[in-house]
Chain A
Amino acid sequence: MKRIFSLIIFSLVFGFTLPAQGYKVGDKAMDFSLINVDGKMVSMADYPDAKGFIVIFTCNHCPYSIAYEDRKIALSKRFEPMGYPVIAINPNDSTLQPQDSYSQMIVRANKKQFPYPYLLDADQSVFKTYGATRTPHVFLLNKENNDLIVRYIGAIDNNYEDEDAVTEKYVENAIKALGNGKLPDPDFTKAVGCTIKYKKS
């Protein structure tokens, strides 16, 4: 009773609003058209032969994103030839996080020679539609009857800090499962990450 009362007070005081729910596994994902670090617009429709996509919300500044940078490159090199390209999207508002500006994205992409597009979610609508809450945050999409279906949401693997200590490669296993005509298990994982920086309206 006391708890409920306090929650009511809390809600009244802070006008507690829950963020949009975003996608769940099994939902149909929407395409987007976002600017890449090479100045061109990129959509998933540009990849007619893809079997799916590894969409990763990520950024420059976040230590978790940086810790996963080489693993994102490895995923791209390994799975793009198998039909699952990596598409990285920076969802952050650069007025709140200057290291994540478009120009800094270009600097980072050139330095690390990203083999995948690194797109800017300039109006921050894509991360909200997908329901990304942190960086890095992976949405594995699978093309089914010309729709892109979300088949896995979560972390790349189960150890952000030490690649050698990883015991579960979630994204890799999920793609393998899809290749075998199965659904990924697990299809949803959580990870510590940096909040996505946006202005609360």
Chain B
Amino acid sequence: MPILFVNILILLNTIFYQPVTENDSKPAIMDFETFQQYLKHENDTVYVINFWATWCAPCVKELPDFEKLNQKYADKNFKMLLVSLDFRKMYHTRLIPFIEENKLSAEVLLLHDPDANAWIDKVDPSWSGAIPATLIYKNSFRLFHEGGYTFDELNTIVEPLMN
């Protein structure tokens, strides 16, 4: 692909997809192309990336445990992303009210890219696509898990990574 075209794509992405920013209660909406930057940082930060949706009962059940983890490490080299796979049309009707009602402190974004077969393997080849699913990584350490987590399970993985 010509470099110019790629540049234009990147520029368009920058314009149309608001980058994730702190202190912004409205979740960013992005496609996988834009989202995948969050999967490969190498900056000594521990990333906990949870894939969920407001209608997914086991996802909602584990969110308080993720919140607890986020609060525990809030002032450390730690970044949690709650990646919602709610439908785009539920953004205003379900997702934003849910975040407000549950006072989520961790950053939420809406991954809107319905051609999931094109990107599921890029998150992790072992992922079938079912949610909840969580990727924890730091530099070259990666641990992907399809299914739920408790706070203790999360903390057992994260704590040794914090040093």
Contacts and interface: CB of A to CB of B under 8 A. Distances in A.
A155 B117 contact: yes
A185 B151 CA distance: 42
B13 to A, nearest CB: 19
Contacts of B88: 161
A159 B115 contact: yes
B129 A134 contact: yes
Chain B contact residues, majority secondary structure:
mixed
B130 A194 contact: yes
Contacts of A10: 143, 156-157
Interface stretch (B15-23, B52-60, B98-106): B52-60
Interface string A115-139: 0000000000000000001100000
Given A158-B114, A158-B115, A162-B114, A6 B120 contact: no
B130 A165 contact: no
B87 to A, nearest CB: 5
Interface in A176-201: 186, 189-197
A160 B85 CA distance: 11
Contacts of B146: 133
Interface in A130-165: 133-134, 154-155, 158-162, 165
B143 A161 contact: no
B2 interface: no
Interface in B48-85: 53, 55-58, 85
Contacts of A6: 141, 143, 157, 160-161
Given A158-B114, A159-B115, A195 B153 contact: no
A191 B140 contact: no
Interface residues of B, number: 33
A3 interface: yes
Contact of B129 (A13, A161, A191): A191
B153 A193 contact: no
Given A97-B57, A160-B114, A192 B147 contact: no
B76 to A, nearest CB: 18
Given A10-B156, A155-B116, A158-B115, A134 B128 contact: yes
A7 interface: yes
A2 B163 CA distance: 12
Most A-side CB within 10 Å, residue of B53, B89, B161: B53
B131 A195 contact: yes
A62 B141 CA distance: 33
Interface string B118-148: 1011000001111110000000111100110
B132 A195 contact: yes
A70 to B, nearest CB: 15
A157 to B, nearest CB: 10
Nearest to B156: A13
B147 to A, nearest CB: 7
B44 to A, nearest CB: 13
Interface of B: 53, 55-58, 85, 87-89, 114-118, 120-121, 127-132, 140-143, 146-147, 153, 156-157, 160-161
8 contacts: A158-B117, A159-B114, A160-B114, A162-B114, A191-B117, A193-B129, A193-B131, A195-B131
Given A155-B117, A191-B117, A191-B129, 13 more contacts: A6-B157, A7-B143, A13-B153, A67-B87, A133-B129, A159-B114, A161-B87, A161-B88, A162-B114, A189-B117, A192-B85, A195-B130, A196-B130
